[in-house]
Amino acid sequence: MPNRKFAVVLLVIWLIALAAIAAFAIRTLRISTDLRSFMPPPQTADQQLLMDQIGEGPGTRLLLLAMEAWTILPLEERLALHLVNLANGHGEREGDDLAIRLHMPQEQLAQLLGVTRQRISQILRAWERHGRLRYRYGHIVLCREWLAERAAPVHPIVLRPQRVPAAH
């Protein structure tokens, strides 16, 4: 019997401790969509502007939507979105197509998306067979027809003009 009483006392102490921790957490926990609490203090005016946009405005909503999409969308869709974003930032016209002027090995794409290089390779080869893109040694060219499909209202594609060499 003494062991049973000791076990009951320990259980009661454990439950009281859990209740105290829960009460402390409820009183001190703040849940917010304001992402500024996760960021270091801004040092420059540009950083302050970014912090204001990230705060509780539309920037936060867009960021949260992107994070949600990243966790819900299948790998093919996430890779397509990543390529479209790269094209928006580093794309240049190559005829009717759009070349991403950034060396992007499959290993790096795989790490960014949290999958194996082999899986990225399978997807890129399938897309190449279907005429969606051309991939050679870390350089990607997105085909015009595929970009038109991807350019639904939520994924605008910004095409930059071709570079014209300066005449000497």
74-150 under CATH 1.10.10.10, yes or no: yes
User: What pLDDT sits at residue 162?
Assistant: 45
Query: Which has more pLDDT, 156 or 132?
Result: 132
Query: Which has more pLDDT, 50 or 1?
Result: 50
Cβ-based neighbours of 150, under 8 Å, separated by 6 or more: 80, 84, 157
In the structure, what pLDDT confidence band is assigned to residue 153 with cuts at 50, 70 and 90? very low
What's the CA gap between 136 and 7, in Å, rounded?
68
What's the CA gap between 37 and 109, in Å, rounded?
30
Domain parsing of the chain, residue ranges: 74-150
